[in-house]
Amino acid sequence: MRQSRRLTLIAALIVVGFIGTIAWTYFSDRPQPLETPLYLARPVEETGAINRVTGIYLNYRLLDTLLEVLVFSVAILGIQHYLARSKAVRLPRLMESEVVRTAVSLLSPLAFLLSLFFVLFGHLSPGGGFASGVIAASGLLYVGIALGMKEAEQRLSPKRLGRVEKGVLLLLIAYVLFPVLLGRTPLTDLLPRGTPGHLLSGGSILIYNLLIASKVLIGAWIAIVSFAQHRGEL
C-alpha cells in the first residue's frame, strides 16, 4: 500500500512537472521567427504533395519520420523479445458469438479498402502510411477474430513476416541513402515532383507511404499475434 502511494506521488509529480514546463515555455518570452519558414512558404510547389502535412513529414522532416519508424521497430522488437521469454499459453478456444463474427467479416474488407485508399492518396488527402498500416492491422485483427487467432496465425505466420518487416526497414533505409551513391545528400528526393493533385505526384512520398504502411501493418500484426500467443487466445 505504501509503495503504491509513493508511486502515485511520483506520477503526480511527473504530471505537475510536465504541465509546469509546458506552461513555463508558453508564457516566457519566445524568440519570434523572423520570416515565414521555408516549409510554410511554398510547400506544394516544392514537395508536389497537396497534403501539406504529408509534404512536411515525408519531405522536409523525413529524418524525424525515419526515426519514428525506427522507434516503432524497436517497440515491436521489444514485444517479441520479452514475450519470447515467457512461456506461450495454449488455452482452449473461446468462440466468438455469431454476431461478432459476422460483423467483423463485414468490417474487415472495408478496413482493407480504407487502408488502401489512405496509403495511395496520402499525399493528396488526409491519411498516410501510419494510419493506413494501423487500419489494415485492425482489419487483420478482425479476420483473426472471425477465423480464430490460431488459424489466422498459421496463415500469416509472424515468423516469416518478421523477416519481411526487417527487410522493409532495410529497404527504406537503403532508399533514403541511395542518393549518396550519386554524390547527393542523403534523404534527397530524386523522383520528379509531378503535377500536384495527380496520383503520381509528390516525388517519393507515395513510395515512403507504401513502405511505412507495410512496415506498420506487419509490425502491428506481429504485436497482436505475440500478445495472443502469450496472453491467451484472443
Q: Residues interacting with other proteins, by CB under 8 A?
A: 51, 53-54, 91-92, 94, 118, 126-128, 130-131, 134-135, 137-138, 141, 145, 220, 224, 227-228, 231-232, 234
Nearer CB in complex with other proteins: 103/173: 103
Question: 190, 48 in Cβ contact below 8 A?
Answer: no
CB of 228 to other proteins, least distance (A): 8
Which stretches does DSSP call E strand in the chain?
none
Q: Between helices 129-147 and 205-230, what is the axis angle to 10°?
A: 30
Q: SS3 for 16? A: helix
CB of 84 to other proteins, least distance (A): 19
CB of 23 to other proteins, least distance (A): 17
Nearer CB in complex with other proteins: 57/172: 57
CB of 97 to other proteins, least distance (A): 12
Which residue carries 519470447 as its cell?
84
Nearer CB in complex with other proteins: 135/176: 135
CB of 130 to other proteins, least distance (A): 6
How would you classify residue 141: left for phi > 0, otherwise alpha for psi between -120 and 50, otherwise beta?
alpha
Which residue carries 515525408 as its cell?
58
Cα separation, 175 vs 208, in Å, equals 9
Nearer CB in complex with other proteins: 53/83: 53
Nearer CB in complex with other proteins: 129/196: 129
- Dump the DSSP string for 36-79: --HHHHSHHHHH--SSHHHHIIIIITHHHHHHHHHHHHHHHHHH
